[in-house]
Structure 1
Amino acid sequence: MKLFLLPVVVIFSLQVFAQPVVNPSKTSSTQQSRRYFGLHFDFHAGVHDSLIGHNLSEHGLDSLLTAVKPDFIQVDCKGHPGVSSYSSNVTNATVAPHITKDPLAFYRAVTRKHGIGLYLHYSGVYDEAVLAKHPNWAVQKADSTINISKTSVHGPYVDSLLIPQLNELADYGADGVWVDGECWATVLDYSPAALARFQTETGIQTVPRSDKDAAYSAFVEFARQSFLQYLGHYVDAVHRHIPTFRIASNWAYSSMMPEPINTHVDFLSGDLTPSNSVNSAALEGRVMAAQGQLYRKPWDLMSWSFWYEFNPVQRQGDQKTAVHLMQEAAEIISLGGGFQAYYQQRRDASISRREQPAMVELSRFVRARQPFCEGSVPMPQVAVLYTNSTVRAFNQSLFGNGQTQRISGVLTALLDAQLPVEVLSEQHLKGRLNQYPIIVVSQQDSLDPDFRRDLLAYARQGGHLLIIGAQTSRSFAAELGVSPAEIVTAGPRFILHGGASVVLTGPFLHVSITGENTKPIGQFLQSEAGDPVSGVIATETAFGKGKLTAVYADLSRDYQKHQSAKLRDFIASLAKPLLTKPLVEVSGSKLVHVVLNWQHDRTAVNLINTGGRHADPQVFTYDEVPPLTNLTVRIRADKKPNRIVQQPENRSLPVQYANGIATVTVPKLAVQSVLVVE
């Protein structure tokens, strides 16, 4: 049955699969399904772990794998301390003392018996033990001192330890490796080898030592490219050894480095923040999904099964309940990705079965939804822009997700307003901007000039840009028909919306309207209970056949911090009118995230119950998500569907059809359901 502007969806799908393929032999559907659901275990072995292998139990692992039925497990082989927890024969390896039984041989034998994949957790750039042996392999800081934990991507480490060990792991018969401590652990390197290469490749002879020095940006870009060359080098070397060995570099090509994929990594993966993981999964999953679809890469994300805080001090809380993890899994699998959960491995390399009941519940949840989520492609509706140019311009580290705060709150607000949203970078939108009724530009303060012109051309041709942020709106002032003044960082400020006050903490850009096609939206208030005062908080500008809507304040961090219902409604009031013919609308609760997919030649509307205190830093975990009832879902269709089925409940819903809209009522939403339109 042809639904939802099918020609547009087909054009999108063809464009996705017409992109250059990287390592196409590694992305068969069988191999992808092997990483749909898995369990991750690691313990970062150290030099004092002297009983490794002592308590390995084939009966215990048999029972666990039989009960949980994962596609794969990942176990420790070398963590950040750099100590191998298996009997490595590589010359430069540091092996834990007194390994009583080789864990990798054990795990390979048992997983092979169950037909389950075995992947290994291996720390790459981050290796303390090898640097204790070979300090000249380390990154050097700007003051020429040694970084005791980070290896240089220009040194012997990659060829003298990393590649030989990965080849050794492949020879064990493992299916692949999840390389941790990689892009996020890479730092600026002032070692002699790095500086010599920088000078040779760039012609710049004076090495910048701080961000105030000339050519500092060139040095940072050189360091980024050096990591990518290092990554490509070892991936290709291991593939030459055993082509079927699958490699992911943790967080490569994610929100930490949202750039085009230019190496032969086999799949994409990362581990979510241990707290507020439902919202983290919603953001990170959308970045991964866009990359995976464009470059035909399978992808998955890992949830920590326990609450943990890295800063300001390391604090560990409770193990998460099954329902808590289900919500995190729902955000990921609804986007077409795979899911894995991280449970701590014991110091002797064995696996505790204490959390097996939660693992079983989680497995049943994911498996029940797999037929309705796997292989999904999103239908274009709302795109939130996350540009490489802004990430590169403002990241304090070489690779990191610090710039996600520019979009994370706005994304969550749009999702909390029941809008289907994707997070896309330049490469995902190139040549297909006009497929999106709305493109949201939230605090993207360093747009590439060519891409900026593309955005304005999109609006002239009938598209709608929602521009959010003091600095971003300033950069579009001429097109918005406003005259900008100073940016004020002091807050808070109150605005009037829908008869109620909404607090914003800034920064704010003061503007005056100069364009005849520009009209103001909203009003400032003197105080929370005060009268309206002069000032422009937002505007709407006719622009060619399209529209530019701008908010002259940073909104993302406000919503990220307190998720105000009033701020959510304010953001929704700007976005929803721009979506004149929405493909799906949901009402009845503000606790629903909506993901609109094309899946196996059918429309699939994912509904996720986001109730529960997952965003509360004072709550480690929770064991109940109240069900939502009587949700009204309106789906645009060119004719009445044969039926709409709520899955995995297999509940056929009565359909009312009028004026191109099919309407159903979902009587109960527990955590995640998929409405399959047939």
Structure 2
Amino acid sequence: MSSLPFRQVHLDFHTSPAIPGVGEDFNADEFIRTLQLGHVNSVTVFAKCHHGYSYYPTKIGTVHPSLKRDLLGEMVSACHEAGIRVCAYTTVTWDELAWETHPEWRQVKPDGNVGRRNSTMLQPGWKNLDMSSSYADYVIAQIEEVMDMYDVAEIFIDIVRFIGDPPGDLPQLRQMKAEGRDPEDPQQRILYALDLERRFMDRCTGAIRAKDPQMGIFYNSRLKMENDPALGNRPEMNNFTHLEIESLPGGFWGYDHFPMYVRYYQTFDTELLAMTGRFHTMWGDFGGLRNRAALEFECFQGLAHGATISIGDQLHPRGRLDKAVYQRIGEVFEAVEQREQWVEGSVPLPEIGVLTANGAPGIRGDSDIPAQDVGTLHVLEQLKQQFSYVDNGSDFSPYSVVVLPDSTVITPETADRLRAFVQAGGGLIVCGNAGLDAATGDYLLADVMGASYDGPAEFAPDYLMLSDDISANIEPMAHSCELQGVRLNVQDGVEVLAYSGKPYFNRTWEHFCSHQYTPLDSQTDEPIIVQKGRVITIARPLFTEYAQSARRVHKQVIANCLSRLLPEPVVGANNLPSTGIVTVRQQGDDLIVHVLHYVHQRRGKTLDIIEDILPLHNVELSIRATSQPASVELVPEHETLTADYADGYVHFTVPVVNGYQIIRLAGAAGN
């Protein structure tokens, strides 16, 4: 059973000292009635905000200058009386008051400038503090004070990372050198910053658990998929009681972030919470309200991946919740409440493990999601495949197929485990120069691939010349690959599934043809898709190409390759459009099928919008099952569907999917 409530609100309260009358309109009874209007059963309220002010009678920090009451205490007491779980929020890297009053706590970059979000001090925005300084004592003392004064279920600790360039004042640079790191190497400074962050978390967690070993703890702004597990969150998990995936699609996260991250963090043995926001854009959008269809999709998508839900809000400085906001939240949380029982305790059923391309062994990845990972998400989700993202330390045995997208780096140890995985019957797709060993100039898995690296492809773009074995549902023509691929030196006996078609020449200043690239001259004898046993090598970066240009042919080529390695996927024949999303989870002996159909559209310059629900009618689905189900029913409606069980699949038709539908296949996962 989940220990995390399903219907949470994360209540921001970053309030300028220039605003008068803070909290003067707060009324405990009205506060609770509004939360109940929103069907909220857990709320995170604020002890200290990014402006650096506390909202309780602190002896450690500074109370907001216009606050005349114990706002935190009144909220905590009201929630306890109403049976609503309550958590306390504080912040680390951003604290404007501390930044102004304690110059010695400021984050200083190696160039001597202070860390801040904006380029000049004339622009409004947060400035960065150094958690490796004595500022850490101040933060931890505030947390201890809150725990002493209030009965809360969790401490939510925000912005627990260095923002921008890693710190590098002279004492830190000297300490780096003393610890064996090179201060002049930017990557070494990044790794040292990671060490400092982890040291702070270890101290902070130790202080919290010394007071209450059962206290919930979450450090925000830390979650990031990393190719090297030592540089990601796995070594930090002793500091977390659960993970909250902050992902507001109206902000910089977009709609790709959450489904990718939840598919990675579902491989961690911990509870997950999906956090979106009620805003049209993101935090601080006081007058913005999320379209109902968008908020539905974001919450239901969390349920479809087994997560509990949190919706971000921001309290008005005078302390009154907006009833219109909680009417919207309540519309969605009422539906969440009706569906919780078919989510709780369920587990994913991924068949494909995708090794993330973000970073490399010993090198931290970027904050931006790499194109290869975006491409795998789009391709596999649109194909209705069940998949997870993995890293170089992951166990591959739960999967039937592992995918190494373009340019993904693996270690020799990972190569050995993948080799054993293939020898045990696992399937492998290697794309582009994934798995290339810089030291030897060849693939680490060349033996199982049946092909060696022979340098970059001569032509870019060139053309896919597909064999009949891999051309299902693809128009019979030469299809372009715009990005440069690699040449393969293929072993005897390896099956060739596609060859390269060469253009007359590469487009250069010396010779070009027409508006874009050069037309096809002829097919060559250069193999670009080959198969040896359970391993398929695609010598073109098709996942990156799909992320950039979304050519259907590239997705279909990958689909046809997958069908050779995974001929009986969990989701079989169906008539869903590519915009439909299907996740299948197991709950006891039942299979729980989640079908989502919400379509986002680029309507703002940088903003994707969901405004309408586009119903799907007579949706035909086939779900692989180990047993004939005792019944197939729509939930929570409890409408029984007619179903057939044949060849290991349950076949049924859903009359209508009005944005989101759960189907329970009772007993279909039993023996």
- What interval of TM-score do these two structures reach, taking the shorter chain for normalisation? 0.7 to 0.9
The whole-number CA distance in structure 1 between the counterparts of 2:18 and 2:518 is 59
Q: Is the 8 A contact 2:454 2:488 kept in 1?
A: yes
Question: What per-residue deviation string (whole Å, max 9, x for no partner) do you get for residues 63-99 of structure 1?
Answer: 2122222221123333333333444321xx2432121
How far is the alpha carbon of 1:450 from its aligned partner? 0.4
> Which residue pairs with 1:640 in the alignment?
628
How far, CA to CA, are the matches of 2:31 and 2:301 in structure 1?
Answer: 29
Residue 598 (1) aligns with residue 598 (2): no
Secondary structure of the residue that 1:422 maps to in structure 2? strand
**CA–CA separation in structure 1 for the residues paired with 2:522 and 2:146:** 67
- Structure 2 regions of 5+ residues with no counterpart? 117-126, 227-231, 437-441, 466-470, 504-516, 667-671
The question of 1:408 aligning with 2:374 is answered yes
For residue 157 of structure 2, what is the aligned residue in structure 1? Answer: 179
Residue among 8, 15, 26 paired with 1:56: 26
- Say whether 1:356 aligns with 2:326: yes
Q: Decide which of 27, 41, 64 is 2:11's aligned counterpart.
A: 41
C-alpha change, 1:115 and 1:317, in structure 2 (3 Å) is closer
Whole-angstrom distance in 1 between the partners of 2:400 and 2:434: 24
Counterpart Cα distance in 1 of 2:462 and 2:103: 53
Q: Secondary structure at the match of 2:323?
A: coil
Q: Alpha carbons of 1:596 and 1:143: their partners in 2 closer, same or farther (altered >3 Å)? A: same
Matches within 5 A, 1:556-595: 556-589=543-576, 590-595=578-583
Relative CO higher for 1 or 2, CA cutoff 8 Å, sep ≥ 6? 1
Among 275, 280, 284, the alignment partner of 2:257 is 280
Distance verdict in 2 for CA 1:69–1:614, change over 3 Å: farther
Q: Aligned-pair distance for 1:363? A: 0.1
- Pairwise mapping of residues 366-515 of structure 1 onto structure 2 (< 5 A)? 366-386=336-356, 390=360, 393=363, 395-396=365-366, 400=367, 402-429=368-395, 433-443=396-406, 445-472=408-435, 475-476=443-444, 478-479=446-447, 480-487=449-456, 495=464, 498-499=474-475, 504-515=481-492
The structure 2 residue matched to 1:271, chosen from 219, 242, 246, is: 246
Q: Does 1:167 align with 2:140?
A: no
Secondary structure, in 3 states, of the residue corresponding to 1:595?
strand
Structure 1 50/391 Cα, relative in aligned 2: closer, same or farther at 3 Å?
farther
Instruction: Please list the CA deviations of residues 442-477 of structure 1 after superposition, one character each: whole Å capped at 9, or x if unmatched.
Output: 135331220121112211222111122345466357
Verify: 1:134 aligned to 2:102, yes or no: yes
Q: CA deviation at 1:667?
A: 1.5
Structure 1, 347-356 or 110-119: larger mean CA deviation: 347-356
The equivalences for 1:203-214 within 5 A come to 207-211=182-186
Residue correspondences, number: 620
Letter in 2 for 1:552: A
Say if 1:465 and 1:184 are closer, same or farther in 2 by CA, change over 3 A.
Answer: farther
| Secondary structure of the corresponding residue to residue 281 of structure 2 | strand
Out of 578, 581, 597, the residue aligned to residue 609 of structure 1 is: 597
What residue is the counterpart of 1:519 in the other structure? 496
Say whether the 8 Å CA contact 2:579–2:599 is kept in structure 1.
Answer: yes
CA RMSD in angstroms comes to: 3.1
Q: Deviations over 1:181-219 (max 9, x none)?
A: 1136375222355334433333x5xx42343xxxx53x4
Give the C-alpha shift of residue 343 in structure 1: 2.2
Per-residue CA distance 1:595-614 (angstroms, 9 max, x = gap)? 22111332222222243427
- Structure 1 residue 220 corresponds to structure 2 residue 194: no
For 1:493 and 1:79, locate their aligned partners in 2 and report how far apart those are by CA, in whole Å.
Answer: 55
Shift of 1:420: 1.0
Q: Distance in 1 between matches of 2:501 and 2:286?
A: 43
Partner in structure 1 of residue 122 of structure 2: none
Q: 2:179 aligns with which of 201, 224, 249?
A: 201
Matched residue SS, 1:121: strand
Secondary structure of 2:77's aligned partner = helix
CA distance in 2, matches of 1:620, 1:372: 30
Deviation at 1:558, TM superposition (A): 3.6
Equivalent position SS for 1:152: coil
Aligned partner of 2:179: which letter? E
Give the SS at the match of 1:238: helix
Query: Aligned pair 1:629/2:620, yes or no?
Result: no
Structure number with higher helix proportion:
1
Cα deviation, 1:232-259, whole Å, max 9, x if unaligned, reads 2101201212333321011435426343
Q: Which amino acid aligns with 1:157?
A: Y
Q: 1:272 deviation in Å?
A: 0.8
Q: Which amino acid is 1:263 matched to?
A: N
Structure 1 window deviating more from structure 2 (507-516 vs 279-288): it is: 507-516
Q: Distance in 2 between matches of 1:406 and 1:130?
A: 41
Partner-residue secondary structure (3-state), 1:347: coil
Counterpart of 2:373, as a letter, is I
Separation (CA, whole Å) in 2 of partners of 1:315 and 1:521: 51
Unaligned runs of 5+ in 1: 1-28
Q: Distance in 2 between matches of 1:591 and 1:121?
A: 37
- % identical aligned pairs: 18
**Counterparts in 2 of 1:119-130, with a 5 A limit?**
119-130=87-98
C-alpha displacement of 1:513: 3.5
Structure 2: distance between partners of 1:372 and 1:614: 33
Q: Contact 1:65–1:114 at 8 Å: present in 2 too?
A: no
CA apart distance, 1:584? 2.9
Larger Rg: 2
Matched-pair contact (CA < 8 Å) for 1:647–1:676: yes
For 2:315 and 2:528, the matched residues in 1 are separated by 52
Q: CA contact under 8 A between 2:499 and 2:524: conserved in structure 1?
A: no
User: Alpha-carbon deviation of 1:503?
Assistant: 5.2
Residues 571-598 of structure 1, C-alpha deviations (whole Å, 9 max, x = no match): 2222233112323325111222222211
CA distance in 2, matches of 1:326, 1:501: 42
CA positional deviation for 1:438 = 0.8
Which letter maps to 1:53? Answer: G
Match of 1:4 in 2: none
Partner of residue 340, structure 1: 310
- Distance change in 2, residues 1:502/1:76 (3 Å): farther
Q: TM-score scaled to structure 2, two decimals? A: 0.84
